[in-house]
Structure 1
Amino acid sequence: MDREELGAWLRLTLAPGVGNGAARRLLSHFGLPQAIFQQTVGALQQCVPPAQAQALCDVPSSWQALLDVTCEWLAGADPQGPTRDIVTLGDDRYPQALLETEDPPLLLYVIGPAHLVAHRPFPHGTCLAVVGSRNPTPQGAENARLFARSLHSAGLTIVSGLALGVDAAAHEGALDAAVVGADVAATIAVVGTGLDRVYPRKNLDLAHRIAAQGLLISEYPLGTPPLAANFPKRNRIISGLSQGTLVVEAALASGSLITARMAVEQGREVFAIPGSIHAPQSRGCHALIRQGAKLVESAQDVLEELKMPAPPSGHQPDAPSLDALPEAGDTTQTTVLNALGFDPMGMDTLIARTGMDASSLQVVLLDLELAGRVARLPGGLFQRMGLG
């Protein structure tokens, strides 16, 4: 794409009051953006209201600066590192799954390995969105990581939003199973900012890892800060790229439920992992299950619903176990784990269930915490970790 064509696409996205729907009508009627800006106000009014037609005839004040910055960004990629590119709605690389949704973005800014970005269309293979709470329980974060690792090992590309919590854990799990140079992206991060910045900054290293073995995608122009309204909007891309959406943990009012709702509207599958009835982070998943989402207990449940072929013998996806016990030998630890179950529990209840004194119980809990079998939660609560 040359500078003139890029400039026309950017100008179309910047036109005040001209949304994606109006832009698609204009493109359908006149062809490429360059042709749109050669029209008179009267001709444009065949597709859009007068105010929008006039806005298209006025050059946005920020257009030239954005064009310069974007050209510099494209040219500034490290030749030995990930590719930077912009895929337009008219490009044959544009994801087919997104074209089938109600509101596909006009532009996709992309960073990733050259062979993945160049795939026509990208991404190659089947995608699954994995989303959830930014403040998950330790078990929830571990579920996200292990499900993503297992599902990518089975051939799925994991899509999420690079947020803290479940999103980050899902990306990391997929990267744990990634094969260097594979023709399928390990994971895709759909972000709510321009691709010249990473939000949250805590995930900067993770973003670099994704760029090396997956894709970073945004519909927002370079320089776009982390505006609150952009994150729910980008969720339609997360669900739209994916054949299904797996919700790991979510409160009743959360962005993850927005993604699930969009998935349903787009005709995609929705999966949910059940959790403790005492955990607020589980209530959103339980609500989804009541509304018809498929309850999943293992990666295989997802693969079967998506009709994915079974992995080769010896490469079966990990099935998260809800009843894993410590290695044989320490019956006291086993007693404490059995008493804990999988719900958050306080010391007083544990003392009553185990019959142990407080000091002895604290020692066992510390040993289990150091071994990754128990997590210490706010409010003096403990929760058993069933995976790992």
Structure 2
Amino acid sequence: MPVSQEEAFARIRLLRSPHVGPVSFRQLLARFGNAVAALEALPEMASRGGGKGQVAPEALVRAEVAAVRAAGARYLFHDDPAFPALLAELHNGPPILTVRGDLALLQKPAVAIVGARNASAAAISLARQFGRELAAQGRLVVSGLARGIDAAAHEGALAEGATAGVIASGIDIAYPPEHAALQDRIAAEGVLIAEQPAGTQPQARHFPSRNRIIAGMAAGTVVVEAAPKSGSLITARIAAEAGREVMAVPGNPRDARARGCNYLIREGAVLVQGAEDIAELLDSFTGSPRSRFREEAPVFAHLAPDEAAETIADAAPADIAGLISSAPVMVDELIRTSGAAPSAVQLALLEMELAGRIQRHAGGRVSLI
């Protein structure tokens, strides 16, 4: 069912309000049925959580909407049929995206290709080949428009099909600046995606969020070349946590840029050497990845996004404030320790989050701010 203009504006305003993140946004919609009602209830909920809730000013949101339109972009909500289906499955996936380009491409089977910014010439050539051959098969090649591997994968895909570029800035900001032409070409021939509000300059904290979109859109993530502690490995971890395929290209152990990929393979990622290897894995993907690369995941933590959203609608908050400290703890541990219903714990956390008292971490963990 199409979202009314009033509801669309309220959703944007809700997400831009202080202390409202992807998880709390969905829980608020589930509890109140729509964003208009959620905005009205936000101050009272924050007050119950021990703080003072604030709502994003209307003027600020109107300016953002105008900037999105001026950039030739549009908003895409998480429950829109055009929203990438696999991305919608993430418990902390973005509720709202801004996009430029052909939305129909978001329904293609997607593969993410990521890697080092200071990549070797051989790795750049291979990433370009991967992008070209996978796009020629009808796949949407997803990457982050960074220097090195990302740019090569985009260029290869554009030569034979289409690509999706996910940026850490607003939809109207080109980053890095030298990729402005490539970013415009992706918007014209493929699809450009941003989560941050229009006008937002990229900051370090935005890149992990961008990486979860890259991994979340695709059934599999391929790491071509990467250092052991790099954003590419963060993307691989997110893909593993989401139950997607993680693939890596082996490299010379004497090259520091290959150590990240070699580590992934040692830990259970699937070794790939050509586009045919990638295609074979993705064509047979049924939701159970062959890669054994895993991060430690909570057993119960986020309940499951749909179940949490449904049960929180009629819940009363649990008394769990005394159980939370500055050390991150899993939500399922709070449920076990408190003995309260999962929905009651989720509602208490929601109120505390809106009050600015807690923050959420990867793996379904929370801590006091």
TM-score class, shorter: 0.7 to 0.9
Match status 1:255 vs 2:231: yes
Name the structure 2 match of 1:89.
78
Pairs within 5 Å for 1:162-181: 162-178=145-161
Match status 1:39 vs 2:60: no
Describe the superposition over 1:133-156 as per-residue Cα deviations: whole angstroms up to 9, x where unpaired. Answer: 000000011111011111111121
Letter in 2 for 1:108: L
Pairs within 5 Å for 1:272-287: 272-287=248-263
Letter in 2 for 1:96: A
Describe the superposition over 1:271-325 as per-residue Cα deviations: whole angstroms up to 9, x where unpaired. Answer: 111112221110000000001111111111111111269xxxxxxxxxxxxxxxx
Name the structure 2 match of 1:373.
none
Larger radius of gyration, structure 1 or 2?
1
- In percent, how many aligned pairs have the same letter? 41
- Of 122-131 and 163-172, deviating more is 122-131
CA distance in 2, matches of 1:66, 1:164: 32
The counterpart of 2:18, out of the listed 16, 19, 22, is 16
Describe the superposition over 1:94-131 as per-residue Cα deviations: whole angstroms up to 9, x where unpaired. Answer: 22111111211121000003xxx2x4xx6122100000
Letter in 2 for 1:97: L
Name the structure 2 match of 1:60.
56
Letter in 2 for 1:8: A
Q: In 2, are the aligned partners of 1:10 and 1:67 still within 8 Å (CA)?
A: no
Q: Give the match's secondary structure for 2:9.
A: helix
CA distance in 2, matches of 1:248, 1:72: 36
Letter in 2 for 1:49: G
CA distance in 1, matches of 2:38, 2:252: 55
Name the structure 2 match of 1:197.
173
Name the structure 2 match of 1:264.
240
Name the structure 2 match of 1:140.
123
Q: In 2, are the aligned partners of 1:3 and 1:71 still within 8 Å (CA)?
A: no
Describe the superposition over 1:330-352 as per-residue Cα deviations: whole angstroms up to 9, x where unpaired. Answer: xxxxxxxxxxxxxxxxxxxxxxx
CA 1:40–1:285: 2 relative to 1, 3 Å: closer
Q: In 2, are the aligned partners of 1:66 and 1:222 still within 8 Å (CA)?
A: no
Describe the superposition over 1:52-81 as per-residue Cα deviations: whole angstroms up to 9, x where unpaired. Answer: xx41xx3335x413322423532x36xxxx
CA 1:41–1:208: 2 relative to 1, 3 Å: closer
CA distance in 2, matches of 1:298, 1:160: 18
Q: CA deviation at 1:232?
A: 1.4
Name the structure 2 match of 1:363.
none
State the 4+ residue runs in structure 1 displaced beyond 4 angstroms: none
Name the structure 2 match of 1:49.
49
CA 1:91–1:50: 2 relative to 1, 3 Å: farther
Letter in 2 for 1:87: L
CA distance in 1, matches of 2:189, 2:201: 25
CA distance in 2, matches of 1:305, 1:4: 44
Name the structure 2 match of 1:289.
265
Q: CA deviation at 1:50?
A: 4.3
Q: Across the two proteins, how many residue pairs are aligned to each other?
A: 283
Pairs within 5 Å for 1:1-388: 4-39=6-41, 41-42=43-44, 44=45, 49-51=49-51, 54-55=52-53, 58-61=54-57, 63-74=58-69, 76=70, 84-113=73-102, 117=103, 119=104, 123-178=106-161, 186-307=162-283
Q: CA deviation at 1:222?
A: 0.7
CA distance in 2, matches of 1:266, 1:86: 25
Unaligned runs of 5+ in 2: 286-369
Normalising by the residue count of structure 1, what TM-score does the alignment of the two structures yield? 0.69
